Amino acid sequence: MNPRDYALKELDAKNLPHWPPRALKQGNLYKPPNDPRDHALAENIIIGVTKNLLLLQHLIQYYSDRNLKSLDLVVQKILAIGLYQLRFLDRVPPSAAVDQAVEQTRRFGESRASGFVNAVLRKATRDPNTPLPARDNPAEYCRIVLSHPPELFLKLEKLLGTERAILFCEHNQQEPPTIIRLSAQREIGEAALMAGASETLQITPHEQPHMFVVTGAKRSTFADWSAQGIAQVQDPTAAAVVSHLDLHPKQTIVDRCCGLGTKTLQVRDAIGDTGQIVAIDPSDARCQGLVRLLNLRKIQNITVHRASFLKDLSNISPEYFDRALVDVPCSNSGVLARRPEARYAQTPRNLESLGNLQDEILADTAPYIKPTGLLLYSTCSIWPEENEHRIDAFVRKHPNFEIMHTQTTLPSGLGPQFDSAHRGQAGRLNDPTSYHDGGFIALLRRI
């Protein structure tokens, strides 16, 4: 499939500001491009248009001299794809971006608008220096130039102050590096990684031990490393979560929302094959993916259950686990550079719904922890209403748990990592070897 057509179909499936999904009249049966270069271009366009949506919508109105409401949705999306290439992709010739957009307009049944699309994009090539808000107008700068909704910026400003709110939005416009964590056999893993390095595949040590920044690798390379137990793709903030659990061989552990099992396998690295790990997740696809990986690696002390709650597992009784990892679904507010679509969903209604789910998961887990056992709550959010507020509400209702430690980590470049003792060091914006996402952990002990 044409990479721009695939990008258009993927963008059309998303619910984005001013862009309700499924505007295309054509069916949804489509596959990614076969050529890796075409696939990479499509992914770049999908992420780039999502990450810069408010800017691109502003440019559409500027170059067309028309309000968005007066423009067909499909035409808007085609224009956004064209404008993204013109503004951000140096390797795509402007003439190719314009011609492809015009042809795409015709392919998707909007032939009458092909002249309009051509005129708008050619105007953009002749007049690339659009007047935009400057940094000294923070709210408008973050809304238009950095594509962060006003309500999100105001929420960040209240939490972080104006300057760090701007830095937060600027951080989210970076292309985050791909970072891997070595598995348990670190010396063997590092040797295997370095043996595979080349002019195209570059591996650079990250400032966090046993982690590396990787460029030029194929997706299949990461899959091979994971299947062999050498390394897994993981952000340093997420990778640091499991270290708080005080894990030892022979323990019983539950990974409460295991996903594809990245942290589950970290837990297994810590306890070896002598303990027992129960991994649960409500998604059948994620559970099947983890089971396939466990079979490839011949790991036998992890059992995977598709379930929403521990109470749904008949073979698990209260006070069963020494440790519980409760990595709950959240707003992703600390990982907006990697999940740009989430910036448009940071609403009070969504946060309230997530808070209710987080409370429900914590309450479901509490009875299954042994006395003196540990429960580690984690999110990839920076919002207090998903973090400290949830933990405070939990201990009020469960006085048999005490808070041992809490820590909020802001994305790199935003200053200190705030823990309960207010310790930490600043990150460096744009340095991949110090890059990390935001997140939160709270360690609780059952009394």
pLDDT digits (tens, 9 = 90+) for 223-237: 989 998 889 999 999
Give the CATH fold of the 177-233 domain: Alpha-Beta Plaits (3.30.70)
Q: What is the pLDDT of residue 413?
A: 87
Give the DSSP letter of residue 143.
I
**What distance in Å separates the CA atoms of residue 428 and residue 298, rounded to the nearest whole number?**
40
Q: Where are the domains of the chain?
A: 3-126, 138-172, 177-233, 236-446
Q: Which residues of the chain have pLDDT under 70?
A: 26-29, 185-192, 194-196, 415-429
Q: What is the pLDDT of residue 31?
A: 82
Signed CA dihedral, 379, 156, 342, 219: sign only: negative
Q: What is the pLDDT of residue 27?
A: 61
Instruction: Determine the 3-state secondary structure of 16 from DSSP.
Output: strand
Q: What is the pLDDT of residue 191?
A: 64
Domain 3-126 is in which class? mainly alpha
CA of 406: how far to CAs of 156, 186, 399, 403, in Å? 20, 29, 17, 8
Tally of CB atoms within 10 A around 405: 14
State both tokens at 326: 């409760």
Q: What is the pLDDT of residue 195?
A: 67
Q: What is the pLDDT of residue 185?
A: 66
Q: What is the pLDDT of residue 156?
A: 98
Which residue carries 């698990």 as its tokens?
A: 316
Q: What is the CATH number of domain 236-446?
A: 3.40.50.150
Q: What is the pLDDT of residue 426?
A: 37
> Same topology for domains 3-126 and 177-233, yes or no?
no
State both tokens at 186: 């670190």
Give the CA count within 13 Å in the CB-facing half-sphere of 90: 0
Q: What is the pLDDT of residue 32?
A: 87
Q: What angle do CA 8, 10, 13 make, to 5 degrees?
A: 110
Q: What is the pLDDT of residue 183?
A: 86
Q: What is the pLDDT of residue 299?
A: 96
Q: What is the pLDDT of residue 424?
A: 32
